[in-house]
Amino acid sequence: MDYQHQFLEGQTHLPAGKVVCIGRNYAEHAKELNNPVPDEPLLFIKPSTAIIPLSQPIALPQGRGGLHYETEVAILIGERLTHASEADVVTAIAGVGLALDLTLRDLQSTLKAKGLPWEKAKAFDGSCSLSAFVAPAGLDLTQLELTLRINDQIRQQGNTAQMLLPVTALLAYISAWFTLLPGDVVLTGTPAGVGQLNSGDKLSLQLDQVITAETRVV
């Protein structure tokens, strides 16, 4: 069954588009992986075929090394954005949700060491797990708390206030390089605490008091 964007209140007409991701948008996460804090946003793209619903179990890829989780705030785009200002992007945000940016970390490290692109480690089928979205009205995008628990233990906890580039500035920056279309999703970076997933893990994600989502690893 093909993926379809969902709101907590039901389906949306918006098609599943590309996923634009930002790396190292939380300084502490960059440090934990021994990566420099970038001078400008580090962008990469996952295709629509990477998206699965968060309610669907996460399947560990076989023979591809460790699979790491990265919990992120996801922004659903509702209007076309090209060379947009921060004021423009506010009305283009159709929804806010949670995502797991799933990464084949061993493979990524090998590719980076060879100076090769990351797509095989970051953009494979099922590498973007998305919750249902909520409308942005009433949400302060600069003060959203996100939490990941694995087997009832907190593994990641952060706040969008810790982002190096806040949501509206990030969307404006992306739109200068890649046109964002209705149905596209932007992943806004992950706080510190990333790690490997293991078969049988039970994951619980929370965004403030508005979204709670659960999944498991098989």
Residue ranges and CATH numbers for the domains of the chain are 15-216 (3.90.850.10)
Q: Say what the pLDDT of residue 35 is.
A: 60
Q: How far apart are CA 66 and CA 14, in angstroms?
A: 33
**pLDDT over threshold 90, residue 186:** yes
Mean pLDDT estimate for the chain: 93
The separation between CA 48 and the C-alpha centre of its own chain, rounded to angstroms, equals: 13
- Express as a percent the part of the chain with pLDDT over 70: 94
Mean pLDDT in residue range 93-110? 96
Q: Which two tokens stand for residue 133?
A: 């979205």
- Express as a percent the part of the chain with pLDDT over 90: 85
Q: Say what the pLDDT of residue 32 is.
A: 57
Q: Say what the pLDDT of residue 29 is.
A: 47
**pLDDT over threshold 90, residue 2:** no
Q: How far apart are CA 163 and CA 22, in angstroms?
A: 11
Q: Which two tokens stand for residue 48?
A: 């629509």
pLDDT confidence band for 11 (50 / 70 / 90): confident
DSSP 127: -
Q: How far apart are CA 31 and CA 24, in angstroms?
A: 9
User: pTM of the predicted model, to two decimals?
Assistant: 0.94
Can you say whether the dihedral through the CA atoms of 29, 205, 59, 14 is positive or negative? Answer: negative
Q: Which two tokens stand for residue 115?
A: 């100076």
Rounded to whole angstroms, what are the CA distances from 206 to 57, 65, 148?
Answer: 17, 28, 7
Q: How far apart are CA 65 and CA 110, in angstroms?
A: 11
Q: Using only C-alpha atoms, what is the Rg of the chain? A: 16
**pLDDT over threshold 80, residue 6:** yes
Residues 37-81 have pLDDT tens digits of: 667 888 999 999 999 999 999 999 988 999 999 999 999 999 999
Residues 136-173 have pLDDT tens digits of: 999 999 999 999 999 999 999 999 999 999 999 999 99
